[in-house]
Structure 1
């Protein structure tokens, strides 16, 4: 166990966790919604510090991040648990483990070891991914601080439900905020992940972008009958354009049935194409389709001259038209961090 960073004492040996937007008020001997922060005798502890469920060397495009150090490798780390309970979670075995012994089965990887592994693997940086990174802040904070000191970039692949205090703690050491926006209504978030309100996810993404200067990319997994209506799709596109900027990449991804949503069909291609149209109508310059092998909306194309800057096949990226962060043909800035 590790003492938690963000919490406050309440009366009667209760505590309030300030790590994410649940702001759980936890009785002694109990854990919060994520089950990774435990009140032990009136003190809050993190249970999964340095507990690794998954580690891999990935293309950065797999996160997906298309405008952040394209073509590089990233050392990807996951632990256990999540503050969402999504019925269709793709990584439910580690995000929502039913077996309480998972922590005992974990590999231990202290921050210094993780940073060394990233450098020895030829990676450009570290991404905390696979499960929700905000449920092991104590580890990601220490690891990000050390990674930055060693010249590595740092990435959260997140549902965006971190608290403002959490974002501000890790903000000086975090380079990219790859955030899911799962819908544009409270009832959609309630259906998908039992989350009562979604607006805080938007405000935290805006804070990451504007206060901390992080590179932000947005992913929306389009689920038939839940978040595929025009009002929500156009709402997300309009918010990205107005609040994050028209050069912010938006990844529209195909849903595949998982876990408790096996009766829901995969997203039709025409639905994704319709969502792509909403993104372009909102003025977004970089809209991508994901989980659709061979689709024509995977390359980065300059919005001014129409030339291809980054060519992609699966998770492989080829930089064919870049000079620094600009189109080599016309000089347009493409919001690409290199």
Structure 2
């Protein structure tokens, strides 16, 4: 496994090909790689160079993705590859997403290997994460099919930067997604990510209105760049108006890294204020992350206001929902995907090595 025939491309003039996977529309000569570095023109065709190769496998709590309304307390089998189709100066996983060293992808596994091992460890789902699964779409989609055959759900942790045709195929096999809405101005996207805002908003609109995928949104707040009251208000109002009040929103804290290693970390007060702004905009489920904030990690019933899932970091301290996600205090059914709660996986992170059969 490695070079694998890729989809989403077409030939253009001059003996080149154009990648149609994401809005970058990379145009490649023979041997050249796209901006993501993992899609390459070989013998006149597009190949995915990281198919079947991972930067590592781990079992995490689902809340770490973060997904707070998708089978809370369950364990998720997580993996990624290398490369990325964005160029975020603040990347928190830059050693993986910016990697051009394919030798770091030491763990080889077929889609069925992954599904088999995840099921054997009692995981409820498999997450494509650490780097953006859009760029290894063929591997992710094949693995998603294998997961469904083993009774596992699938999760995409993504920036949502994908073209419409690929988007339909990709999300047709995903059960949940956490989409990074990295900011809410075109200027921020261009300057800090090398991408554009509108395609991400289009992905969110598509997911919410045209699919059954469970969606949560994460915004990393970076001091001085995307954390103004005005921008947070605009972002929150857009979600409330275009997606509705039941889409969970996670505000997470930035820590100095990669090209923004001189930018200070996000003060906890900034996250708390952002949470208040979003709740005032009408959003029912707003969370804080990467800081110790039990209130900001707890799920409250939007009808009676009682805490129904109390969290401290990734630990669940109290759970007051039935198997359908109904508040045991007032009978209101919360938005999300729920099941019988049999205790939480907890804050553990368990590395796994796959023995290829």
TM-score by length of 1: 0.96
Aligned-residue offset at 1:214? 0.7
Unaligned stretches of 5+ in structure 2? 339-357
Aligned-residue offset at 1:316? 1.7
**Structure-2 residue corresponding to 1:191:** 191
- Alignment partners' CA distance in 2, 1:164 and 1:150: 28
**Structure-2 residue corresponding to 1:123:** 123
Q: Work out whether residues 272 and 296 of structure 2, in 8 Å CA contact, stay in contact via their aligned partners in 1.
A: no
**Structure-2 residue corresponding to 1:141:** 141
Aligned with residue 98 of structure 2, among 75, 96, 99: 96
- Alignment partners' CA distance in 2, 1:152 and 1:48: 23
Aligned-residue offset at 1:124? 0.3
**Structure-1 residue corresponding to 2:301:** 302
**Structure-2 residue corresponding to 1:112:** 112
Q: Work out whether residues 48 and 103 of structure 1, in 8 Å CA contact, stay in contact via their aligned partners in 2.
A: no
Taking the TM superposition and a 5 Å limit, the aligned residue runs for 1:1-338 are 1-97=3-99, 100-103=100-103, 105-195=105-195, 197-318=196-317, 320-323=319-322, 324-338=324-338
1:249-286 deviation per Cα after TM superposition (whole angstroms, max 9, x unaligned): 00011111111111100111222122112101210011
Q: Work out whether residues 126 and 147 of structure 2, in 8 Å CA contact, stay in contact via their aligned partners in 1.
A: yes
Unaligned stretches of 5+ in structure 1? none
Q: Work out whether residues 51 and 106 of structure 1, in 8 Å CA contact, stay in contact via their aligned partners in 2.
A: yes
Aligned-residue offset at 1:104? 6.5
Q: Work out whether residues 71 and 319 of structure 1, in 8 Å CA contact, stay in contact via their aligned partners in 2.
A: no
Match of 1:35, SS state, is coil
* Larger relative contact order (CA 8 Å, sep ≥ 6): 2
Number of residue-to-residue matches in the alignment? 335
Q: Work out whether residues 54 and 130 of structure 1, in 8 Å CA contact, stay in contact via their aligned partners in 2.
A: no
1:60-88 deviation per Cα after TM superposition (whole angstroms, max 9, x unaligned): 00001000110000000110000111112
Q: Work out whether residues 90 and 192 of structure 2, in 8 Å CA contact, stay in contact via their aligned partners in 1.
A: yes
- Alignment partners' CA distance in 2, 1:148 and 1:61: 21
Aligned-residue offset at 1:315? 0.9
- Alignment partners' CA distance in 2, 1:283 and 1:101: 45
1:292-332 deviation per Cα after TM superposition (whole angstroms, max 9, x unaligned): 11442111010111111111121122552102222121121
TM-score by length of 2: 0.91
